[in-house]
Every structure is written in C-alpha cells, then in structure tokens.
Structure 1
Amino acid sequence: MNYSEEKVIKAFQIYAKLARTAVTDQEAVQLYRADDDIRSLLDLYAKEVDAVIVNTSEHLYLIPETKLSVFHVSNDWIKRHYLRSGATNGDIYLLYFATIILFGTFYNSYQSGRPTRDFLRVEEWMHQIQERIEQLQALDEEVLKQKESEFSYNWRQIVDKWVDMNDIKESVKRQTGNTISRYSFLDTVKRFLLDQDLVMDQGNEEIALTEKAKTIIQRYFMEVEYNKGIFTFIYEMEGEKTDASD
C-alpha cells in the first residue's frame, strides 16, 4: 500500500510521542479513528516493536504485546521500583495475582462485556484475594502441580507469600523485618497500577478502573489467547465454591 509523505510523517510523529511517553492526546485519537492510512501506519509501527495501539475516548496507548517488546516492563524493573529489597519471583507472582483479582472483581463473570461496578474498596479487594487463596489451598496437591505446569504460575509460592503476610501478626513480623503486611503490599500494587494508569484512587480507600484498563481487560484479559486461561481457572474456582454451597 502506498502512503503519502504527509501521512507517513504525521503517523511517525504520533508514534514517536507514544514511544517516549506511551500515551497521546485526543487529537491523535481522532486521527487514528478517522484516517485509515494513519491508523494502518501506527498499527504497523507498533507491530514492528511487538506492541499494539490501544485507543480510548481520550488517549492512544502503546502497549507491549510480548516480552520481546522494548516497552515490556520486566520483573526485575518492578522489583527495583516497587518491591522491597530482597523481593523474589514469588512477590512478583503475588503482585500479578492481586492485579488479576482486582480486575476480575469489576466483572461479574468471565468474558463479561463491561464492568458491573464503579469502584472497589481496598478491604474488599483483600477479602477477594483471601477467598481465592483459600480456594487454592483447598486444591489437591497433584491438581495444583498440574495447574502450575499449565499456567507457568507458581501457585504455591503465591499462597505462601500471602499467608506469610498475616496482618494479625503484623506487629511481630515488623520486629523481625522478614515481611510486610497484606495491606501495605496491596498499597504497593495499587501504586504500581496508578503509575501505569490502570486504576484511579478515588479516596476513602476506593479504587476505580481507568478507560485504559477497561480497554486492555476487554481486549486481552478476557481473551484466552492472551490470558492463558488464568481468568477461566479463577472463575471456575469461584463457580465450584458456589455450586458446593448450594
């Protein structure tokens, strides 16, 4: 396909801003939606760096699609910028797990079309995580090993990390310096998500999803191709719990 020089330059200007800041203004959104050539060029530029363009009503975002992307946020980077000294992959797994639970709590079922709530209180977020941890603990050891192999997630490390952050024993553990409380860990996860423009802090311990988060969740987290079935697994655990209580 042949593109005019003007459109190639304009598309590259938008891409250059995305590469620097990962977000653009509303004018870029309007061009992306209205001009097929600019949209095609931007999608092509993003594909070349293993990323995708996500558009909301107000912004364009450049989102890494694979670990090969230069825009991918590595585990080591998260450890250095957000987690305590000596953090392990278990802390990273728990951060991802807490994020998935947060996202899932805004939707009433797997592959929901839109959020079914406006905000989530931190206390309820913690309660939702605790429920899923207890469901993981109730699984047979062989089933858990199978799920670890299937999802490449160390579920046992997630359970152990969460259980070790027992808020009831927080004062004792603060003295040993071996761990942090669940509340302070979720505050760290929230700070990471705020910095990535995925949640908004509404005050009064309430968190809301951004338009960026809603778009990414709908486009990727709800697609088995991208979430590797993890959402399905978590919702299945919730469904089995409901069935058992009937």
Structure 2
Amino acid sequence: MIYNQEQVIQAFKIYSKLAVNGYGDTDELRLYLADDAIRGLVEQFAKEVDCTIFVAGDCIYLIPISMSSPFHISNENIKKTYLPSKATNIDIYVMYVAVIIMFGEFYNSYQTIEPTRDFLSIDDWLLRVNDRILSLKAYDKEELKELEKEYEYNWISIVEKWDAMDDLKEKVKTQDARVSSRLSFLNTVKKFLEAQELIVDIGNDELELTQKAKTIVQRYYMEHEYNRGILEFMYKLEQMKGEKEDAGHF
C-alpha cells in the first residue's frame, strides 16, 4: 500500500503518543480506529520495536511482546522502582511466579478464556503461592536442576527465597514493604501491578483485574510462545506431585 505524507504524519503522531505514555484515549486517537491505512502504519511502527497494539475499554495500548523491545521493563528498572535496595534478580523471579499464580486464580489455572471470578483477596493469593512453592519443594534439588534446564528458570532459588521470607508477621497487613515477609512481598508485587494498570484494589484487600490485564492474558499470556510453558508447568505441579507420591508406594 502506498501512503501519502499526511497519513504517515498522522500515524507517527499516534505512535509517538503511545510510545511516550504506553496508552492513549480512544477518543483522542480516534483516527487509529477510523482509518485502516493509518492503523496499519501505526501497527507497522509498533512491530519494528517488538510491540503490539490493542484496544481495551476506552484506551489503546502499546505493549512490548519480547524482552528485546526497548519498551520492555528491564530487571534493573523493576528493582530500582519497586523493590528494596538489596533486591536481586531472584526477587524478580519470585514476583513473576506470584503474578502467574494471581492470574491463574482468575482464569481457573489458565483453563478458561474468560475470568471465572470477579476478585481475589490478598490472603487467598498468599495461600495459593504457598501451595505452589510447597509443590516445588516436593522435588529434591537434582530434580529441580533438571527442571531449571528445561524451563530456564531458577526454581531452587525461588523456593529458597520464599522460605527465607518471615511469615510470622503475615497477619500484620500494615507492615512496611521493606519488612522481609511473604505478605509484604505480595504487597510489593501488588503495587507493581497497580502501576502497570493490571489490577485495581477494590477495598477490603481484594483485587480486581483491569480490562488491560484481561486482554493481555487472553491474547498473549496463555501462548506458549510467550510464557515458554511455565504456566502449564506451574499448574501441573500438584498433579506431578501426586504421581510422584503414588509411585513411592510401589
């Protein structure tokens, strides 16, 4: 398709707005929706930086779909912005596991396309993370090392990091996020997800998914290409643990 100069300029204005803010109002960027040529150009610009564009609710979002994208949030940025000063990449791995589990609770262990619940309490979230980590602990280190090779994920360090968190103060919901406890760690993850406009705190320590989050999960999060099979692994842990225990009875 041949584009005229005005179309290129209008498309670049829309792309620039999305690139700066990560999103734009559909009313403000109505040309993206109304003009196929301009929309195609904007999407080409996004593709060049390993991003995708989608409409969710009243917003248009620019979302990175690979770690090579300049718009991908780096580990260093996450540590600097959201985690305590002594945080390491292992803290980020545990964050990712917590996010996987939280979304999984909304989508029935990733077996459904639409959410099966309206909200999730932080206490329930904590219980589910505990359950998954306990399932990981059912494996000895040699088995986990083999799983690490398969998924390129440091499961041993994740288990050790979670175990090291002090859960004696988990009932104290107002504690500072710097306190080393599982609940305060989840509150740190919560703040990150809120900053990314993926969840909303609706009160009473209950969390609700945003339309942005639902769209991302449905279109990308469940795809093996993007999650490297980690979702399936995390939600097969209980089954694998049961099979392992049954085999031990023979």
Q: Distance in 2 between matches of 1:49 and 1:237?
A: 35
Query: How do 1:14-25 residues align onto structure 2 when only pairs under 5 Å count?
Result: 14-25=14-25
- Taking a change above 3 Å as real, the CA distance of residues 124 and 244 of structure 1, as seen in their structure-2 partners, is farther
More helix by share: 1
- Contact map agreement 2:7 2:37 (CA 8 A) in 1: yes
Instruction: State the shift of 1:235 in Å.
Output: 1.4
Instruction: State the shift of 1:111 in Å.
Output: 4.6
Tell me the secondary structure at the aligned position of residue 139 of structure 2: coil
Q: Distance in 2 between matches of 1:40 and 1:111?
A: 33
Tell me the secondary structure at the aligned position of residue 27 of structure 1: coil
Q: Distance in 2 between matches of 1:114 and 1:32?
A: 27
- Contact map agreement 1:51 1:69 (CA 8 A) in 2: yes
- Partner residue, 2:168: 168
Q: Distance in 1 between matches of 2:167 and 2:144?
A: 26
Query: How do 1:81-120 residues align onto structure 2 when only pairs under 5 Å count?
Result: 81-120=81-120
Q: Distance in 2 between matches of 1:180 and 1:186?
A: 11
- Partner residue, 1:173: none
Amino acid across the alignment from 1:71: F
Q: Distance in 2 between matches of 1:219 and 1:142?
A: 35
TM-score w.r.t. the length of structure 2 is 0.88
- Partner residue, 1:50: 50
Instruction: State the shift of 1:60 in Å.
Output: 1.1
Instruction: State the shift of 1:143 in Å.
Output: 2.7
Q: Distance in 2 between matches of 1:127 and 1:30?
A: 44
Are 1:229 and 2:229 matched, yes or no? yes
Instruction: State the shift of 1:135 in Å.
Output: 0.3
Instruction: State the shift of 1:70 in Å.
Output: 1.3
- Taking a change above 3 Å as real, the CA distance of residues 3 and 28 of structure 1, as seen in their structure-2 partners, is farther
Instruction: State the shift of 1:27 in Å.
Output: 2.1
Instruction: State the shift of 1:8 in Å.
Output: 1.8
Tell me the secondary structure at the aligned position of residue 167 of structure 1: coil
Tell me the secondary structure at the aligned position of residue 61 of structure 2: strand
Deviations along 1:132-169, one digit per CA (max 9) or x if unpaired, are: 00000002433311221122110111111111113216
- Partner residue, 1:124: 124
- Partner residue, 1:145: 145
- Partner residue, 2:217: 217
Q: Distance in 2 between matches of 1:113 and 1:31?
A: 30
- Taking a change above 3 Å as real, the CA distance of residues 75 and 206 of structure 1, as seen in their structure-2 partners, is same
Q: Distance in 1 between matches of 2:29 and 2:101?
A: 30
Tell me the secondary structure at the aligned position of residue 61 of structure 1: strand
CA RMSD of aligned residues (A): 2.3
Tell me the secondary structure at the aligned position of residue 201 of structure 2: strand
Aligned structure 1 segments of 4 or more residues deviating by more than 6 angstroms: 242-246
Q: Distance in 1 between matches of 2:146 and 2:244?
A: 22
Tell me the secondary structure at the aligned position of residue 76 of structure 2: helix
- Contact map agreement 1:94 1:158 (CA 8 A) in 2: yes
- Contact map agreement 1:29 1:58 (CA 8 A) in 2: no
Deviations along 1:73-101, one digit per CA (max 9) or x if unpaired, are: 10011111111111111111111111111
Q: Distance in 2 between matches of 1:244 and 1:121?
A: 31
Q: Distance in 1 between matches of 2:183 and 2:13?
A: 42
TM-score w.r.t. the length of structure 1 is 0.90
**Paired residue total:** 240
Tell me the secondary structure at the aligned position of residue 180 of structure 1: coil
Tell me the secondary structure at the aligned position of residue 208 of structure 2: strand
Question: Which structure 1 segments of 5+ residues have no match?
Answer: 171-177
Instruction: State the shift of 1:183 in Å.
Output: 1.1
Q: Distance in 2 between matches of 1:22 and 1:111?
A: 29
Q: Distance in 1 between matches of 2:42 and 2:126?
A: 39
Deviations along 1:164-188, one digit per CA (max 9) or x if unpaired, are: 1132167xxxxxxx96111111111
Q: Distance in 1 between matches of 2:140 and 2:86?
A: 31
- Partner residue, 2:10: 10
